[in-house]
């Protein structure tokens, strides 16, 4: 690739000569290298589009201006990971709002970019932050919000937030099961087992997958209940010591006889 020469170009809008730089669009005129005039660039772009036969959404021949390439560059750079404030400096904009006005973003690209951002952020954070919280940590967290009472205990969602699981509580890690409700959960697990068998018998494979996910959630919640019960069984009640035990001596409750001395 031939290295671009650094040349000065006249800015007709500001009416000043810009410092010499390796401009992308330059050509030789005689023995000099000069920047291409905007009119010349527009003619080249128009001739190229006519040769490609490209059309817009309405079927008309596609038209572009040289300035459109700035929009294409900014959109491509930001969508491939360049921070918008860096794109602002590259484009030479004074305010980032101008840069964002050049950026063409579509809903699917927003979703994919957000997912990629979450994956990158999680990769940089310690895995300890994504472990299952202990009962003490849950109780401390839930103390800041109004608890939601469910059939087998409480939901740990923050107050006034929607349920992203559509109330499929057995599948949700936010459900904190109560060991006292174990018989109810055993009945739910049995009902799910029967429904899975029925769905397989009827050939409803799509429904089987959802039911098996709920069945696995019920098994997980039963394991949590059993773990809580096991910890409670290991606890030893030391009782409340009396005042005599704390003082370490017996207390004489009888009053001494009155003294006869004057």
Nearest to 132 by CA among 258, 219, 221, 59: 221
Task: Report the C-alpha gap between 206 and 199 in whole angstroms.
Answer: 9
Whole-number pLDDT of residue 254: 57
Whole-number pLDDT of residue 253: 52
Q: Count of CB atoms within 10 A of residue 113's CB?
A: 15
Q: Residue 176 pairs with which residues in a beta bridge?
A: 154
Beta strand 32-35 with 26-29: parallel, antiparallel or unpaired? Answer: antiparallel
Q: CA 58, 60, 65, 68: dihedral to nearest 10 degrees? A: 30
Residue 193 structure tokens = 């087992």
For the segment 43-49, the average pLDDT, to the nearest whole number, is 86
Q: What is the pLDDT of residues 85-106, one digit of tens each?
A: 898 888 888 888 888 887 776 6
| Distance from the first to the final alpha carbon of the chain | 124
- Model confidence at 147, pLDDT cuts 50, 70, 90, reads low
Task: Report the C-alpha gap between 166 and 133 in whole angstroms.
Answer: 22
Residue 157 is classified by DSSP as P
Task: Report the C-alpha gap between 196 and 233 in whole angstroms.
Answer: 35
Q: Does the CA dihedral 18-19-25-26 come out positive or negative?
A: positive
Nearest to 103 by CA among 79, 85, 125: 79
Q: CA 245, 246, 247, 251: dihedral to nearest 10 degrees? A: -40
pLDDT surpassing 80 at residue 218: yes
Whole-number pLDDT of residue 167: 54
0.75 exceeded by pTM: no
Average pLDDT, the chain: 77
- Model confidence at 203, pLDDT cuts 50, 70, 90, reads confident
Q: What is the pLDDT of residues 226-240, one digit of tens each?
A: 888 887 777 666 666
Q: Residues of the chain with pLDDT > 90: what percent?
A: 0
């Amino acid at each position: 690739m031939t290295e671009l020469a650094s040349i000065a170009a006249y800015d007709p809008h500001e009416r000043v000569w810009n410092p010499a730089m390796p401009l992308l669009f330059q050509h030789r005129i005689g023995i000099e290298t000069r920047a291409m005039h905007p009119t010349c660039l527009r003619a080249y772009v128009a001739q190229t589009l006519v040769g490609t036969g490209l059309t817009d959404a309405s079927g008309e021949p596609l038209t572009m201006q040289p300035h459109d390439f700035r929009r294409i560059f900014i959109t491509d750079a930001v969508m491939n990971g360049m921070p918008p404030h860096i794109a602002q400096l590259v484009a030479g904009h004074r305010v980032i709002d101008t840069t964002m006005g050049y950026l063409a973003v579509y809903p699917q690209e927003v979703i994919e970019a957000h997912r990629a951002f979450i994956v990158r952020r999680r990769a940089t954070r310690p895995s300890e932050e994504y472990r299952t919280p202990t009962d003490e940590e849950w109780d401390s967290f839930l103390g800041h919000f109004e608890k939601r009472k469910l059939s087998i205990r409480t939901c740990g969602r923050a107050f006034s937030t929607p349920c992203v699981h559509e109330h499929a509580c057995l599948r949700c890690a936010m459900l904190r099961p109560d060991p006292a409700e174990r018989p109810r959960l055993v009945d739910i697990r049995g009902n799910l087992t029967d429904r899975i068998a029925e769905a397989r018998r009827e050939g409803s494979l799509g429904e089987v997958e959802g039911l098996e996910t709920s069945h696995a959630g019920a098994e997980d919640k039963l394991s949590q209940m059993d773990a809580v019960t096991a910890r409670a069984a290991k606890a030893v009640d030391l009782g409340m010591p009396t005042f005599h035990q704390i003082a370490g001596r017996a207390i004489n409750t009888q009053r001494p006889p009155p003294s006869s001395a004057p």
